[in-house]
Amino acid sequence: MRQFSAANVLAALICLIVLISIAGCGGTSVKTPVAASIRINPSSLSLNEGQVSSFTATALSSTGSVIAVDYAYSSSNPALAAVSPAGAVCGGQFDANSIVCSPNGDGQATVTVTSGNVSATATVYVHKQVDRVVMTPFNDCSSAGSALNPSAVAYNTSAPGCSISAPCDITATVGPFIYGSGNSTVVASAAGIDPTYSATTNSPTYAAGGTITGTKGQTCNLSDFSVGGGTGLNPTFDQATRTPTYVSGGSITGGVGQTCNLSGFNGLTNATAIVTLTDTNAIATGTQLIITSPGVGGGTVPPTTATLSNGTATCSGTATVLTRLQTTVGVDQVINATGTVTLTGDNTIATGTQLTITNQGYGAVQAPTTATLSNGTATCSGTAAVITTLNAATGLEAQNPGATALFASVAGVNSVGTPFSVCPVQSILVHDANGSGTDFTLTGGQAQNLAADVLDSKGVSIHPTLTWTTSEPGAVSVSAESATATILGTGPGTSSVTATCITPNCNVNLPPQYSYNVVTATVPGQSADTVYAASTKSLSMVPISVISNVPGPAITLPRYPNSIVASPTGTHVYLGSDTGAMDYNTTKAVVSTLPFNGKILAVSGDGSALLVSDTAGNATFLYSTTNGARFATAVGPATAGAITPDNQWSVSGIGPSAVRIGNGVPIISTKLNYTPAAIDFLASGSLTFLTNPTGQSVDVRSTCDESELQTLSAADPSLIQRLPNGTGVVAVDVPNLDVITTAQPTGSCPIMASSTLTSYDLGAGSFTPQELLVSSDSMRVWIISNQPSVLMFNLAAHAPISIPLTGGSVGYTGGLTLDGAQLYVGAIDGTIHRIALSSFSDEQQIGAGLVDANSNPVAADLVTVLPK
């Protein structure tokens, strides 16, 4: 056996200990990272005497990359504010193990974190315990874009000489307050991303993350810059169950072990959870929630309800929940911040690559550390880690018109929310972006820029986020940015375009403001629409091209329909039914069933919602075609109803009431002394018109709050329809047609407008109206009735025309082509009658071939035209 001397052994041990960072004695050295800069978070701390908090430090290399280094913390006054080697800070003195913190008076100290030759500092404020924070109320609204100057007072009620009845003001000792908003859309921190953050790279930098497909020199977009924290569901609320709990609510179909989803926790953004069924069709009270996402801010009080929706079971309704918020406060996202980052190699973004900030955004109280990666010129997805800091902007800023609550926080204590309003929008006028024009003729593919003149309640011109809509997307599409928009001619026809200030982006938590006028645009040519004919007695539906006027192959339906509507987007035909409504997807040529029964009264202009009256279920509701859920449900079936032109909510006649149903807003019921026969809106949406046959009148109301403005005398008003050009409405008032002309509205909620009613004899005697149709160019009115003819009224000449149906047939329902050139009427003789505007005659009778269960021919009593 080989022998080693003591000297040799000792030398080997010294080599191992002293040269531990060397590959071997005499080997190559390993380079230790050196920080080029350090940042410390937060930049200041407010601590009660004896309270403990902590700082975190981040070191950056010369290229801007985050690196791991050793830190040393020190305090300028360790007797007042001691700091541990790990960055824990005591409002007083730590014991030898940096665990117990003993108070030692009030004052300020500077904490310094050092690595090598670089350092960063933060201020610590030590003070008497903050027992209450009171925010100074605001006396008036502030216009959007203006800086706010919030202030607050901190009180102690527990120190000697202080009490609840005689609190001690300790504001001067606590340092800066953190101010927050219950709704960052309305008010937010003015701070955003600083585009020149890093002193070495002169730009924020990209760290890692995401999936990338591209080549060197291409870019990826970044958005949703955010930082962890902010209010959210606390997943460990209940001390017994260690989780929030479910109390009650909702309709459930499922089995033991299946789950239901919960979302829409009131006041909290993007919080989600699941809850497990404990028995068939049952969730036991007290069942634990599993928090799948705590949310990303927005809540100022713990949510008490959540929306119940499908999980592995079938669930719907609203659940009552027991939850609390996470303890961190403040906005955790830089709103509207965007950036780009360049690929440095195929499928690669190198760590330390500079970000190009394309929009600094606003709303943050902490520097964002992550961003969403999306398509640029490369294909990118995922989440990127980013190194950023906030710009120098401080305080709160009014962002969009609306109401919210502001609060102040210091030393972990929040004030009670103080009500505050960003001045609401008072008026909106839409027009040509380069002039005053409001009526345009566009060729297919031609664009026209629009602008909205917006004034708030102080008369200040602002540029809020408006909701722009087009009544006929098959003719004219609209894309919007804030108070401007671009319309594009997409196909033959005429469309009205309007702008609305409505929650959740504008007039948040306040009544909506509709534009005073509308813009109209016409695209010449023949529209290539499709007629769909069905019957309440048949399980078939037949398409007919308006170009060839030849029926296509019959489409099999799983239920007998009771109503039919075509989506203005040209992609869906919806059929109501007492045993299950249906959706025919024209793109996929597939019929699917919808999860409700009832008659479809209306479809929104963007095709996103259906208004449904369910007599058997004693309910009226708005159904979302986007996510397959009900926005809201009112008790009782509606006899009439319509959806606002901005697609946000509906007004229905449910017994002697006008009931407003919307997405995410409370149901509002306005008592009437009559049951409306029909309902529609002014094309801008600002006014609601309801026909009252028993009271021999047309009721005019302000849509924002359903307050009554006028009662117009009429003999027997029934059906009513808006004029797309925004000048008023028309109503069938047998034996007359009532033309109601409305002057341009003024004011905010309630809107003010004067309407006049003029009756014109249709020359047809007494009849029972079946359907009222208005051409998209607002030039002609068509009435289908129990007479063997179709009535047409020329709104320019104020002249009626009676067009006989071939064979003396009587019509049921019909539809106009988008270009207004042809009317198709389903009639009692089993054919579809094509009425041509060019000749004012029944030019063709098209056999639909619909049959009942016994193969007997039946009439097409349900007809609609799908625009293209």
Q: Which residues of 538-555 are buried (b: 16+ CB within 10 A; e: fewer)?
A: bbbbbbbebeeeebeebb
Distance (Å, whole) CA 103 – CA 226: 36
- String of DSSP letters for 654-683: -SSEEEEEESSS--EEEE-SS--S-EEE-T
416 φ, ψ to 5°? Answer: -70, 140
Confidence of residue 110 (pLDDT cuts 50, 70, 90): very high
- Do both 219 and 334 map to the same domain? yes
Whether 138 has a pLDDT exceeding 50, the answer reads: yes
> What is the span of the domain harbouring residue 407?
132-189+396-422
- Do both 417 and 431 map to the same domain? no
Q: Among residues of the chain, what percentage have pLDDT more than 90?
A: 68
- Do both 254 and 341 map to the same domain? no
- Do both 85 and 115 map to the same domain? yes
- The answer to the question of residue 790 being in a domain is no
Confidence of residue 227 (pLDDT cuts 50, 70, 90): confident
Residues in the chain: 868
39 φ, ψ to 5°? Answer: -125, 150
Which CATH number fits the domain that encloses residue 497? 2.60.40.1080
- Do both 354 and 367 map to the same domain? yes
- Do both 182 and 270 map to the same domain? no
How much is the pTM? 0.76
Does residue 560 contact residue 579 with C-beta atoms inside 8 Å? Answer: yes
Q: What is the per-residue pLDDT for 181?
A: 85
50 φ, ψ to 5°? Answer: 85, -5
- The answer to the question of residue 592 being in a domain is no
Nearest CA to 137 out of 423, 425, 457, 415 is that of: 415
**Number of domains, the chain:** 6
For residue 670, what are its two tokens? 């306005």
Whether 88 has a pLDDT exceeding 60, the answer reads: yes
Confidence of residue 239 (pLDDT cuts 50, 70, 90): low
- The answer to the question of residue 418 being in a domain is yes
Which carries the bigger pLDDT value, residue 48 or residue 278? 48
- Backbone Cα Rg of the chain: 34
Whether 228 has a pLDDT exceeding 80, the answer reads: no
Residues 6+ apart with CB under 8 A from 92: 49, 50, 80, 81, 82, 101, 102, 103, 104, 105, 126
Confidence of residue 332 (pLDDT cuts 50, 70, 90): low
Q: Give the tens place of pLDDT for each residue, 628-676.
A: 888 889 999 999 999 999 999 899 999 999 999 987 677 899 999 999 9
Q: What is the per-residue pLDDT for 746?
A: 93
- Do both 49 and 71 map to the same domain? yes
Distance (Å, whole) CA 526 – CA 524: 7
- Do both 339 and 212 map to the same domain? yes
Q: What is the per-residue pLDDT for 463?
A: 92
- Do both 183 and 71 map to the same domain? no
Does residue 187 contact residue 408 with C-beta atoms inside 8 Å? Answer: no
- Three-state SS for 106-172 is CEEEEEEEEECCEEEEEEEEEECCCCEEEECCCCCCECCCCECCCCEEEEECCCCCCCCCCCEECHH
- The answer to the question of residue 369 being in a domain is yes
Q: What is the per-residue pLDDT for 833?
A: 98
Distance (Å, whole) CA 1 – CA 315: 79
Average pLDDT over residues 73-85: 95
Nearest CA to 181 out of 140, 148, 227 is that of: 148
Q: Give the tens place of pLDDT for each residue, 807-865.
A: 999 999 999 999 999 999 999 999 999 999 999 999 999 999 999 999 999 999 999 99
- Do both 304 and 364 map to the same domain? no
Residue 525, by phi and psi: left (phi above 0), alpha (psi -120 to 50) or beta? left
Q: What is the per-residue pLDDT for 481?
A: 80
For residue 682, what are its two tokens? 């002014």
Average pLDDT over residues 169-182: 92
Distance (Å, whole) CA 148 – CA 143: 10
575 φ, ψ to 5°? Answer: -125, 125
Which carries the bigger pLDDT value, residue 516 or residue 270? 516
Helix or strand or coil: residue 717?
A: strand
Q: Find residue 429's DSSP bridge partners.
A: 453
Q: Tell me: cis bond preceding 857? Omega within 30 of 0 counts.
A: no
Distance (Å, whole) CA 527 – CA 338: 40
- Do both 142 and 286 map to the same domain? no
Domain final position from 299, 322, 345? 322
Q: Strand 619-624 relative to strand 609-614: parallel, antiparallel, unpaired?
A: antiparallel
The chain-wide mean pLDDT, for the chain, equals 90
Does residue 675 contact residue 659 with C-beta atoms inside 8 Å? Answer: no
Whether 156 has a pLDDT exceeding 90, the answer reads: yes
Domain final position from 80, 109, 127? 127
Give the CA-trace dihedral at 686, 692, 698, 704, to 10 degrees. -20
- The answer to the question of residue 365 being in a domain is yes
- Do both 507 and 429 map to the same domain? yes
- The answer to the question of residue 763 being in a domain is no
Domain final position from 272, 302, 322? 322
